[in-house]
Amino acid sequence: MNDDRAHGPIDKLFTRRVGPEYCFFCAQPIHAKTSTEEHVIPRWVQQRFNLWNKRLTLLNGTTINYKHLTVPCCIDCNTQRLQPIESKLSAATLVGSAAVRDIGRESLFVWLGKIVYGLLYKQTQLPAKRALADSPPIMSARGILDFQKDIYFLQFARGEVRFPNGLPASIFVFETQAGDHPDLQWDYCDSIPTLVVGVKVGKVGIVAVLRDGGAQQVCEKEYMELSPHPLHPLQFRELFAQIVYRSRLYNRVPKYMIVLEPCHVVIRIPDGTGGPIFDQAHAEDYAKILSEYTGIPLNDLFRPPDGVHTWLRDAAGIPVYLPLREYRFLPRRLRPKVGS
């Protein structure tokens, strides 16, 4: 990204301060009359799946109740920029995957980006060791600045950024099995090093690679061919692991040019390096990722030299339907992770 910057509120993102007196989303100072709290995991999700008192695991291994995952947010970002997206997602996820796709990749990009960035921002406000009054936060304010460009891109929701030649992300929507038990209906997982985030909301699963310049979008047909049937929760985790692993094999750094207009126009610069954009895959490395996101021991998943267990395909490589009554969803094994 070049260093040309227009003057205006978006500049706060390049010199942003972190704290309860600044909006986590637009970085503007807030005060009593303009301050609200944004639920990182939306209220409608918590209500629908009874998550208020359930817990997520943070970067340092501690846990926090969903209801306590709030970040400071100005009224404008909360009610005018983010709430309309929440309302569309809340309605669409009740209908199904096609309705979620109809919302548009841009809204899904903002929604998932807001969630993962909000989780990171919250951890700048929480002590790493809660028993110590002077404990440093789980994530330092300096550490959050590593995500400046990512939160800058999310200003699409404020009309301050446009992407005329495509989003800087890859986004996939899958049909999933919901079941009657809440543990079968909601799931959250992420990979912070490559900013991959996945959520399962009832009968819809969404995965976004937020930092790859759209590189994996060309794999959409491949992923969809693996899921001609509604995905079992374990199959959703397997697909998520595949997308995470491919994101770690990506060997490019997307480059952008910013054109200063009334809003910032972000143009992705084509890569002229040549050669494969993904490094060679290795079965054992992938199996470790699969183990991480399913909680199933590596020895149960990997058979040297290149055998990796799959719930997506049968022995002939044909996609399979996995009924919910099989491979019961185990919360301890598939417990949502934050910052993996």
pLDDT per residue of the chain (340 residues) written in tens, 0 to 9: 433 333 444 555 566 778 889 999 998 899 888 889 999 999 999 999 999 999 999 998 889 999 999 999 999 999 999 999 999 999 999 999 999 999 999 999 999 999 999 999 999 999 999 888 789 999 998 888 889 889 999 999 999 999 999 999 999 999 999 888 777 899 999 999 999 999 999 999 999 999 999 999 999 999 999 888 999 999 999 999 999 999 999 999 999 998 887 888 999 998 878 899 999 999 999 999 999 999 999 999 999 999 999 999 999 999 999 988 765 444 444 443 444 4
Angle between helix 283-294 and 233-249 (nearest 10) = 140
334 assigned to some structural domain: no
202 assigned to some structural domain: yes
329 assigned to some structural domain: no
1 assigned to some structural domain: no
336 assigned to some structural domain: no
320 assigned to some structural domain: no
Distance CA 238, CA 174 (A): 13
Q: 212: domain range?
A: 9-308
Is residue 202 within 8 A of residue 48, CB to CB? The reply is yes
84 assigned to some structural domain: yes
List the beta strands (DSSP E) in the chain: 35-39, 55-57, 63-65, 70-74, 161-162, 170-175, 186-191, 196-201, 204-209, 255-260, 264-269, 302-303, 307-308
264 assigned to some structural domain: yes
Peptide bond into 305 cis (omega under 30): yes
Is residue 105 within 8 A of residue 112, CB to CB? The reply is no
From residue 218, how far is each of 32, 110, 213, 255, 276 by CA, in Å? 46, 20, 11, 18, 13
**How many structural domains does the chain have?**
1
